[in-house]
Amino acid sequence: IAGITQAPTSQILAAGRRMTLRCTQDMRHNAMYWYRQDLGLGLRLIHYSNTAGTTGKGEVPDGYSVSRANTDDFPLTLASAVPSQTSVYFCASSDGASGGADTQYFGPGTRLTVL
Amino acid sequence: GQNIDQPTEMTATEGAIVQINCTYQTSGFNGLFWYQQHAGEAPTFLSYNVLDGLEEKGRFSSFLSRSKGYSYLLLKELQMKDSASYLCAVRDSDYKLSFGAGTTVTVRA
C-alpha cells in the first residue's frame, strides 16, 4: 500500500506558467487537503475536499484551484505561477468521519520554485 | 481562526527529557494533534488529545488543558533520531487543522 503519493517531487517553474501538482491516495479516504509550508509560518491550508465532488477554500486559496473528480485524486493547479508561490506543498488525506481523531496522513511533498 | 504558539527551537542531550509547550487561542476546538517532521520529509502523526489529561505512547506523552488553551509534548529518553520539528495543530469546529510554526528539537550526544 503506497498511502499518498505526490508528483512531481520537485519543480522549477517560470513565472506566469501553469502548473498542476498531483496527489493520489489509495486508502479510500473521503477527505483530502492541500497545504503549503513556508519557513517560520508552518503549514497553511490552501484547499480541501470533504468528499468526491466537493471542494472548499482554506486559509490561503488565492492563485490556486482544485478538483475532486474521484475519491483517489486531488490535483492542485496554479493557473499563472508567481514567485510568492515558491514553497513546499503537502497533500494529506483523512477518512473524514466526524468524531474521533480523523487523523490526517501526509504525502511526501512537492518542492516548487517559481522564478 | 486560530493562534497557535510554540517555541522555535530547543536543544537537549541524548537520554534526557524535553517538554515542548503549545498554547492556542481558538474560536472553536475539536482536538489537538502533535506531528513529527524530519528535515525534508512529510509530517507524521504522533498524538491526539481531545479531553483534558495525559496521553502516553511509549517514550512520547501529550497533555491537554482545554480551559488554559495549553498542551505539551513530552519526549523521554531522547535519542538522536528524535532530532526533528514537532508541530502542534488544533482542529476547529469546522474540522480543519491549524498548525503552529513548529519547534525544532536538536538532540546532542
Select from B43, B96, B98 the Cβ nearest to the Cβ of A106: B43
pLDDT tens for residues A100-112?
Answer: 778 999 999 999 9
pLDDT 10s digit of each residue in chain B, 109 long? 579 999 999 999 999 999 999 999 987 899 999 999 999 999 999 999 999 999 999 999 999 999 999 999 999 999 999 999 999 999 988 888 999 999 999 999 9
Q: Which of B2, B12, B22 is nearest to B76 (CA)?
A: B12
Asked if A33 contacts A95 with a C-beta cutoff of 8 angstroms, the reply is no
Asked if A115 contacts A12 with a C-beta cutoff of 8 angstroms, the reply is yes
Instruction: Search chain B and give the residue with CA nearest A91.
Output: B42
Nearest CA distance, A42 vs chain B (angstrom): 4
Collect all residues of chain B within an 8 Å Cβ-Cβ radius of residue A33. Answer: 97
Select from B42, B96, B102 the Cβ nearest to the Cβ of A58: B96
pLDDT tens for residues A22-38?
Answer: 999 999 999 999 999 99
